Amino acid sequence: MHSFGYRANALLTFAVTILAFMCAICHSLITSILNINWFQKQPHGNDEVSLTLNITADLQSLFTWNTKQVFAFVAPEYKTSKNSLNQVSLWDAIIPEKEHAKFWIQISNKYRFIDQGHNLRGKDFNLTLHWHVMPKTGKMFADKIVMSGYRLPDAYR
88 binds other proteins (CB under 8 A): yes
Question: For residues 50-79, which are near other proteins according to CB under 8 A?
Answer: 68-69, 71, 73, 75
**Amino acid at residue number 141:** F
Q: Residue 155 CB, nearest distance to other proteins (Å)?
A: 24
Cβ 120 vs Cβ 47: under 8 Å: yes
Cβ 130 vs Cβ 70: under 8 Å: no
145 binds other proteins (CB under 8 A): no
> How many angstroms separate the CA atoms of 76 and 125, rounded?
6
Q: Residue 35 CB, nearest distance to other proteins (Å)?
A: 21
27 binds other proteins (CB under 8 A): no
The residue among 157, 93, 91, 90 whose CA lies nearest residue 121 is: 157
DSSP state of 3: S
89 binds other proteins (CB under 8 A): yes
Tell me which residues touch other proteins (CB under 8 A). Answer: 68-69, 71, 73, 75, 81-89, 92, 94, 96, 111, 116, 130, 132, 134-140, 142, 144
